[in-house]
Amino acid sequence: MFSAIKAYVAQFKLYFIAAAAVALFLAGGTLAWKYQGTRLDKCQVELTVCHDVGKRNEATIEKMSADRARAESICQKQLGVKEDTARKVRDIDEEPKGDAHENADTDHIISALDRLFTGN
């Protein structure tokens, strides 16, 4: 009789240990699943933040490109004016010194520069 009880207790312990192992395995799997889910949520939030920052950076780059193009256009216009003025000054410098229509008391370069900037 005691041997039957011992066998029953031993069998019960074996089932109890197996059930406890399965319960621990399931609890560990559940915890790992929740931990991975939390990590996934964190990664999704970081990805969303990075995506938003990327969009803002793209808009900033587009604005900066437009500003650069506008500044380059202004610089090209200013360079054109500079080249035109330099060409006119070279032409003035190469003019003969004694034009008949000029007054003898004035310098021909001064009067040519005066005509250049006043439009006469």
Can you give the residue range of the structural domain that contains 28?
2-118
Has residue 118 got a pLDDT over 80?
no
Has residue 23 got a pLDDT over 80?
yes
pLDDT value for 31: 94
* Residues in contact with 88: Cβ distance below 8 Å, sequence separation at least 6, in sequence order: 116
Q: For the chain, how many residues are written? A: 120
pLDDT value for 105: 54
CA distance 66 to 69: 5
Task: Give the total number of structural domains in the chain.
Answer: 1
- 41-45, 47-51, 68-72, 104-108, range with the lowest pLDDT: 104-108
Measure Cα distances from 87 to 72, 91, 107, 113 in Å.
22, 6, 20, 12
